[in-house]
């Protein structure tokens, strides 16, 4: 089993040592960093420190140096955000610090977006994506959008705080048959169900497939709400989008 001392990057080692107190989480995070490169550790460390200029530079260097965009996303950016999330939950940091981390995350995603979004193939389907009403979290949704575009989907991104009416309007206007909803707050998760109900009321539910995701969302919750599919991450988002749109091989 990987141990904390095996992680070469001092910032990451200190962050885990000081802030990740639950043993199960500590083991999971140490495992996450144990087999990844020092370039990815540097990116993650600067996400945690909220250093957007550094993340910008390091991500650009990694991509130009030939690192795989998915590796940079998972082992650098998302790995850094995993520690940020725990620190926020445990009140070691607060909204202003997390905003700085989110800004750093976006600085890195800027270099990954053109690669993951460039599919060059005929659109395999049209997806309407949005974070639900009341919810301003968009990092995970944006990663899903990038990956969907890269897989050949045409994506209309409605952004954050998206009301049921906004989703419905977009579906009607763009004749889309696939909708993806993201929620990061337990208080906004029910708005996914409300959006599904609004599609039923508008007599559109049978014309579309609905997929949902976001950290607190579970498969059970998705089933209970009447969604067609649940995805735990951006890779799963693409897989289920393909299945739901009939593009799965
Ligand atoms: C960054 C962040 C913020 C930033 C958001 C910046 C931004 N532009 O997004 C800011 C600082 C603004 C913020 C604000 C708040 N936040 Co906040 N935030 C986070 C944090 C640390 C990280 C979220 C994130 O980006 N994760 C990284 C991405 C890559 O992961 P992801 O979003 O889960 O997405 C992946 C999957 O879920 C999936 N996915 C996502 N969407 C979809 C959609 C589909 C269709 C599919 C298939 C898959 C899918 O794929 C993605 C990629 O792999 C989380 C902690 C956490 N552990 O999640 C708290 C967290 C979500 N926030 C929390 C809270 C409480 C708040 C505030 C209420 C704080 C406050 N007091 O004001 C506000 C709410 C504002 C609002 N109305 O939305 C709580 C929620 C608790 C709860 N149970 O509801 C969390 C869990 C922190 C905690 N306490 O533990 N936050």
Report the share of the chain in percent with pLDDT over 90.
87
Q: Which atom of ligand 1 is nearest to the CA of 82?
A: 57
Nearest Cα neighbor of 12 from 106, 96, 80, 113 is 80
The domain that contains 177 carries what CATH number? Answer: 3.40.50.280
Please check whether residues 147 and 108 belong to one and the same domain.
no
The domain that contains 102 carries what CATH number? Answer: 1.10.1240.10
Give the residue whose CA is nearest to atom 57 of ligand 1: 85
Ligand 1 pocket, CB under 6 A? 78, 81, 84-85, 88-89, 95, 98-99, 102, 134-141, 143-144, 180-182, 184-187, 211-216, 231, 233-234, 237
In a domain, 35, yes or no: yes
Q: Where are the beta strands (DSSP E) in the chain?
A: 125-131, 153-157, 178-182, 209-213, 229-230
Task: Kindly report the pTM of this predicted structure.
Answer: 0.91
pLDDT of amino acid 119: 65
Please check whether residues 149 and 217 belong to one and the same domain.
yes
Interval 116-144 mean pLDDT: 90
Please check whether residues 136 and 111 belong to one and the same domain.
no
Question: What are the pLDDT digits (tens) for 45-81?
Answer: 999 999 999 999 999 999 999 999 999 999 999 999 9
User: Would you state the structure tokens that stand for residue 198, as one six-digit string?
Assistant: 């609004």
Please check whether residues 237 and 141 belong to one and the same domain.
yes
pLDDT of amino acid 249: 41
Please check whether residues 240 and 131 belong to one and the same domain.
yes
In a domain, 175, yes or no: yes
Please check whether residues 156 and 180 belong to one and the same domain.
yes
In a domain, 15, yes or no: yes
User: Would you state the structure tokens that stand for residue 91, as one six-digit string?
Assistant: 């009140």
Task: Please give the tally of structural domains in the chain.
Answer: 2
Please check whether residues 10 and 113 belong to one and the same domain.
yes
Q: What is the mean pLDDT of the chain?
A: 94
pLDDT at residue 248 is higher than 70: no
* Neighbouring C-alpha atoms within 13 Å toward the C-beta of 85: 17
How many angstroms is it from 137 CA to the middle of ligand 1? 5
Q: Which domain holds residue 37?
A: 4-117
Give the residue whose CA is nearest to atom 40 of ligand 1: 214
In a domain, 249, yes or no: no
Question: What are the pLDDT digits (tens) for 192-241?
Answer: 999 999 999 999 999 999 999 999 999 999 999 999 999 999 989 999 99
Question: What are the pLDDT digits (tens) for 145-166?
Answer: 988 998 889 999 999 999 999 9
């Amino acid at each position: 089993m990987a141990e904390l001392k095996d992680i070469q990057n001092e910032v990451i080692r200190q962050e885990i040592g000081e802030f990740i107190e639950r043993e199960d989480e500590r083991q999971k995070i140490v495992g996450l960093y144990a087999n990844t490169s020092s370039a990815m550790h540097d990116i993650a460390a600067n996400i945690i420190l909220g250093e957007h200029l550094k993340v910008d530079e390091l991500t650009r260097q990694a991509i130009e140096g030939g690192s795989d965009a998915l590796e940079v996303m998972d082992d650098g950016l998302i790995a850094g955000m995993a520690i940020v999330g725990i620190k926020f939950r445990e009140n070691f940091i607060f909204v202003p610090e997390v905003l700085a981390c989110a800004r750093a995350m976006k600085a890195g995603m800027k270099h990954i977006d053109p690669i993951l979004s460039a599919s060059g193939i005929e659109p395999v389907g049209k997806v309407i994506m949005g974070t639900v009403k009341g919810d301003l979290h968009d990092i995970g949704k944006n990663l899903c959008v990038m990956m969907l575009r890269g897989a050949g989907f045409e994506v209309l991104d409605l952004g954050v705080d998206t009301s049921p009416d906004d989703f419905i309007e977009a579906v009607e206007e763009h004749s889309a048959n696939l909708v993806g909803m993201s929620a990061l707050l337990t208080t906004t998760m029910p708005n996914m169900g409300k959006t599904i109900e609004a599609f039923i009321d508008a007599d559109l539910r049978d014309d579309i497939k609905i997929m949902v995701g976001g950290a607190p969302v579970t498969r059970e919750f998705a089933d209970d709400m009447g969604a067609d599919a649940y995805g735990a991450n951006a890779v799963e988002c693409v897989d289920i989008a393909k299945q739901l749109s009939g593009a799965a091989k």
